[in-house]
Amino acid sequence: MTELQPEMESLHSVGKGVLRINLKPDDLSLWQDTYKTVPQPCNILLACEASSSDLETTQLTWVVGAAIRSTFLNSTDALVALLKQLGVSDGLADSVPAHCPGLAISIPWAFYLERHGWLTACPIVASEQILMTPA
């Protein structure tokens, strides 16, 4: 695993974009709480612009004011295709499986865009489950 920065995140440059893996305890807790409220089965949470239209017809956005959408996908290929449909660049979407362990298999993940365009992924796990690399 990539060494975590002091801010509890790892950043991966992908072309002109950045994939940010967010492991901040407060954010992990927030996503866990949200995950508990969505219909199951669910292994993906997405911050989207709209909640009333079909998932594939909305766009991924930042968390504040977003409609949190849930889905269940049984492959990383399906997630990559969905992220592209939601407006994530091909390069960023294609990079997700390499940096998100357990994706579509054993660990639920949340995805959203930062205001400056970074794609952020956050595993939906308890903070004590995150393995820390020694400094």
Tens digits of per-residue pLDDT, 7-55? Answer: 789 999 999 999 999 999 999 999 999 999 998 899 999 999 988 888 9
- Please say whether the beta carbons of 12 and 18 come within 8 A: yes
Spatial distance between the Cα atoms of 12 and 26, rounded to a whole number of angstroms: 21
Query: Taken in order 81, 58, 101, 74, is the CA torsion positive or negative?
Result: negative
Does a structural domain hold residue 121? yes
- Asked if the structure places residue 98 within a domain, the reply is yes
CA distance 5 to 7: 5
Number of domains within the chain: 1
Residue 20 resides in a domain: yes
In-domain check, residue 28: yes
Residue of 84, 79, 76, 85 whose CA lies nearest to 56: 85
**pLDDT tens sequence across 65-85:** 779 999 999 999 999 999 999
Asked whether residue 64 carries a pLDDT value surpassing 90, the answer given is no
- Any domain includes 102: yes
Domain presence at residue 134: no
Angle CA(127)–CA(130)–CA(131) in degrees, nearest 5? 145
Beta strand 119-123 pairing with 109-113? antiparallel
In the predicted model, is pLDDT for residue 123 greater than 90?
Answer: yes
> Which pLDDT score is estimated for 38?
92
Torsion region of 69: left, alpha or beta (phi above 0 gives left; psi -120 to 50 gives alpha): beta
In a domain, 27, yes or no: yes
| More confidently predicted of 25 and 127 | 25
Structural domain span for residue 52:
9-126
Give domain status of residue 3, yes or no.
Answer: no
